[in-house]
């Protein structure tokens, strides 16, 4: 009976997602009410209308269904923490106040107006976020759970160790930051999207639901009406000469507003007034020195396991996107192959809905053009002018780009690969259990989840793989 109920729920979900946006009732999200809402059944019609069906179906249907997991083999869910750490994002309003120190609100409004930004809109979203935070803290208190609120500069390993679970209050970026310091699979990380209108919230518990649904969602959580989802993460081991552990916190660079060309200079990582707040998100590396077998000269190399696991993806390439990235890549201990491209991404199933998807997705225009070429060249009748047929083919291709967050494999994508007589064609995307990359660049970096950038210049090597002990425990509703 339980399986039948879940199948019916899945059928309802598919029906809701596959219904064209124009056929859905145009009800404002804040008018939605239900004593026990299912967050996976809610989709903002206005945001869906911005996407063609071929993209909306791929992203929303694949991400929201959990039918591929075997429920019978999963442990009985239970969520009864005594202490919860809440990591709050820095709102855009707070960000602008930090950058424009000494300005009152009237002056800040003038500065933003000159840039074409809406001060009132920023302030309203700031208030919505903090209202969400207050509701979350009150609900935890009513459930007898002690909570502690920190922002990104106060998100330390000591604070994480204090808690039984971590809540992220923000969007997917805040969720990624929250997961970066959770090293054990026994400590759940649960995301709350406090900006439903401006953030997708793929990894968040309620996706794009407004605040009034939070209390009901937490009741479901505390009653065990959910499933654990163990998201794979990427472990990275690097080997190279001195300096391989040099890291830059890219979030701090936003506050500094230094151009990327000065990233590896001696400039402070953030304004002098904020030095006390600029606490490294990445702990120091534990290095091991090894000797090279190179006969021409004795080189002393260092090897280190990076202290941050990648939940979404790892990017390897030149610091300046306008420059060609040169490297060697080996899959599953196979022979290394030299490549030139705009860089390479290695992602998990969690990250497959993000950068990986957008690099590889097909548009309906592209599919229609291909169908017309095939029809003309091979003299076969293909419905290239049938919009539904074009959309369906595009959808099927795009859906196969997304894979389960708990899949024990990595997906790689070569961005804009260069093929010629020197660099022959290779597969631009695929799966592997282990991926090794050797840098041939001179201003290259290795970036984890868009947050932490490590030097990765000529001769440096990186090995990427997934390990059972590195999974991140998260929650999805049935």
pLDDT in tens, 135-169: 999 999 999 999 999 998 899 999 999 999 999 99
Over range 1-22, report the average pLDDT.
38
Say if residues 242 and 292 touch (Cβ distance below 8 Å). no
Q: Is the dihedral of CA 452, 284, 86, 357 positive or negative?
A: positive
Of 260-264, 382-386, 465-469, which gets the smallest average pLDDT?
260-264
Query: For the chain, what percent of residues have pLDDT higher than 90?
Result: 62
- Contact between 239 and 438 (Cβ < 8 Å): no
* Nearest-angstrom CA–CA distance, 51 and 104: 39
Provide the 3-class DSSP secondary structure of residue 284.
Answer: coil
Residue 191 to residue 200: CA distance in whole angstroms: 12
Superfamily of domain 234-361+401-472 in the CATH hierarchy: Probable inorganic polyphosphate/atp-NAD kinase; domain 2 (2.60.200.30)
pLDDT, average across residues 106-128: 95
Residue 10 is predicted with a pLDDT of: 38
More confident residue, 72 or 93: 93
Q: What tens digit of pLDDT does each residue of 14-35 get?
A: 333 333 333 333 333 333 333 3
Per the DSSP assignment, residues forming a β-bridge with 166 are 85, 189
**DSSP letter string, 23-74:** GS----GGG---SS--GGG---HHHHTTS-HHHHIIIIIHHH--TTS-GGGS
Task: Please state the domain extents for the chain.
Answer: 2-64, 71-225, 234-361+401-472
C-alpha torsion angle, residues 22, 28, 30, 36 (rounded to 10): -30
- Stretch 447-474: mean pLDDT, rounded? 94
Helix (H, G, I), strand (E, B) or coil at 259: coil
Cα separations in angstroms, 17 against 58, 61, 120, 325: 10, 6, 33, 39
State the fold for domain 71-225.
Rossmann fold (3.40.50)
Predicted local confidence at residue 26, as pLDDT: 32
Q: Checking DSSP bridges between strand 189-193 and strand 165-170, what pairing results, if any?
A: parallel
Q: What is the pLDDT of residue 218?
A: 95
Please say whether the beta carbons of 248 and 452 come within 8 A: yes
Please answer whether residues 404 and 67 qualify as being in contact, where contact means their C-beta atoms are separated by less than 8 angstroms. Answer: no
Q: What are phi and psi of 452, to 5 degrees?
A: -125, 125
HSE-up (13 A, CA, CB side) for residue 160: 19
- 43, 88, 127, 160 from 178: Cα distances, Å: 25, 9, 22, 9
Distance CA 427, CA 258 (A): 37
At residue 253, the pLDDT reads: 57
For residue 55, the model assigns a pLDDT of 80
Mean pLDDT of 109-136: 95
Main-chain dihedrals φ then ψ at residue 92, nearest 5 degrees: -60, -35
Do the bridges between strand 452-455 and strand 165-170 make them parallel or antiparallel, or are there none, so unpaired?
Answer: unpaired
Distance CA(447)–CA(247), nearest Å, equals 9
Nearest to 178 by CA among 204, 199, 197: 204
Look up the pTM and report it.
0.80
Q: For 158, how many CA atoms within 13 A lie in the half-sphere containing its CB?
A: 3
Q: What pLDDT shows up at residue 14?
A: 37
Question: Exposed, middle or buried: residue 2 (CB in 10 Å: 0-12, 13-18, 19+)?
Answer: exposed
CA-to-CA distance for 53 and 395, rounded, in angstroms?
8
Q: At what angle do helices 105-114 and 92-99 cross, to 10 degrees?
A: 100
- At residue 252, the pLDDT reads 58
Band of residue 206 on the pLDDT scale cut at 50, 70, 90: confident
Residue that wins the pLDDT comparison between 9 and 74: 74
- Residue 141 Cα to chain centre, angstroms: 30
Calculate the average pLDDT of the chain: 81
Give the mean pLDDT of 120-128.
95
Q: In this predicted structure, what is the pLDDT of residue 354?
A: 92
Does the pLDDT value for residue 287 go beyond 80? no
Q: What is the pLDDT of residue 42?
A: 38
In angstroms, the CA 312 to CA 354 distance is 8
| Model confidence pLDDT, tens digit, residues 288-340 | 655 555 545 556 778 889 999 999 999 999 999 899 999 999 999 899 999 99
Q: Is 385 exposed, middle or buried (0-12, 13-18, 19+ CB in 10 A)?
A: exposed
How many CA atoms, within 13 angstroms, populate the side-chain half-sphere of residue 367? 23
Contact, 242 vs 225, CB < 8 A? no
Structural tokens at position 404: 């389960």
Reference 71, options 231, 220, 233, 229; nearest CA is 229
- Angle, helix 119-142 to helix 214-222, in steps of 10 degrees: 30
453, 247 Cβ separation under 8 angstroms: yes
Residue 464: partners with Cβ closer than 8 Å, 6 or more residues away: 234, 235, 236, 310, 314, 346, 410, 434, 435, 436, 437
């Amino acid at each position: 009976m339980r399986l039948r109920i879940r199948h019916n729920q899945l059928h309802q979900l598919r029906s809701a997602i596959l219904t064209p946006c124009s056929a859905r009732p145009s009800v404002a999200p804040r008018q939605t009410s239900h004593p026990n809402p299912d967050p996976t059944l809610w989709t903002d019609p206005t945001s869906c209308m911005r996407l063609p069906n071929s993209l909306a179906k791929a992203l929303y249907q694949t991400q929201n269904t959990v039918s591929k997991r075997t429920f019978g083999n999963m442990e009985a869910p239970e969520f009864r923490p005594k202490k919860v750490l809440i990591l709050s994002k820095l709102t855009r309003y707070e960000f602008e106040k930090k950058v424009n120190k000494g300005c009152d609100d009237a002056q800040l409004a003038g500065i933003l107006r000159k840039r074409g930004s809406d001060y009132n809109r920023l302030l309203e979203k700031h208030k919505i976020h903090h209202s969400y935070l207050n509701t979350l803290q009150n609900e935890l208190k009513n459930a007898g759970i002690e909570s502690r609120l920190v922002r990104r500069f106060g998100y330390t390993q000591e604070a994480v160790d204090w808690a039984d679970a971590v809540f992220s209050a923000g969007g997917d970026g805040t969720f990624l930051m929250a997961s970066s310091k959770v090293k054990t699979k026994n400590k759940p990380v649960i995301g709350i999207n406090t900006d439903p209108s401006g953030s997708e919230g793929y990894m968040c518990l309620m996706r794009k639901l407004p605040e009034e649904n939070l209390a009901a969602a937490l009741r479901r959580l505390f009653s065990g009406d959910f499933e654990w989802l163990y998201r794979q993460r990427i472990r990275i081991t690097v080997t190279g000469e001195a300096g391989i552990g040099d890291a830059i916190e890219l979030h701090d660079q936003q506050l500094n507003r230094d151009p990327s060309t000065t990233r590896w200079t001696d400039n402070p990582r953030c304004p002098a007034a904020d030095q006390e707040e600029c606490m490294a998100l990445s702990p120091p590396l534990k290095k091991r020195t090894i000797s090279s077998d190179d006969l021409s000269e004795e080189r002393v190399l260092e090897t280190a396991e990076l202290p941050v696991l990648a939940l979404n993806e790892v990017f390897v390439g030149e610091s300046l996107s306008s420059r060609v990235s040169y490297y060697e890549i080996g899959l599953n201990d196979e022979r290394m192959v030299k490549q030139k491209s705009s860089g390479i991404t290695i992602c998990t199933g969690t990250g497959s809905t993000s950068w990986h998807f957008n690099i590889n997705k097909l548009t309906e225009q592209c599919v229609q053009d291909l169908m017309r070429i095939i029809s003309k060249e091979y003299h076969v009748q293909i419905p290239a002018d049938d919009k539904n047929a074009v959309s369906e083919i595009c959808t099927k291709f795009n859906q196969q780009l997304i894979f389960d967050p708990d899949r024990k494999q990595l997906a790689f994508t070569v961005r804009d690969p260069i093929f010629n007589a020197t660099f022959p064609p290779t597969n631009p995307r695929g799966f592997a259990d282990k991926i090794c990359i050797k840098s041939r660049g001179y201003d290259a970096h290795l970036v984890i989840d868009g947050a932490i950038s490590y030097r990765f210049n000529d001769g440096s090597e990186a090995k990427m793989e997934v390990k059972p002990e590195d999974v991140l425990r998260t929650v999805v509703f049935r």
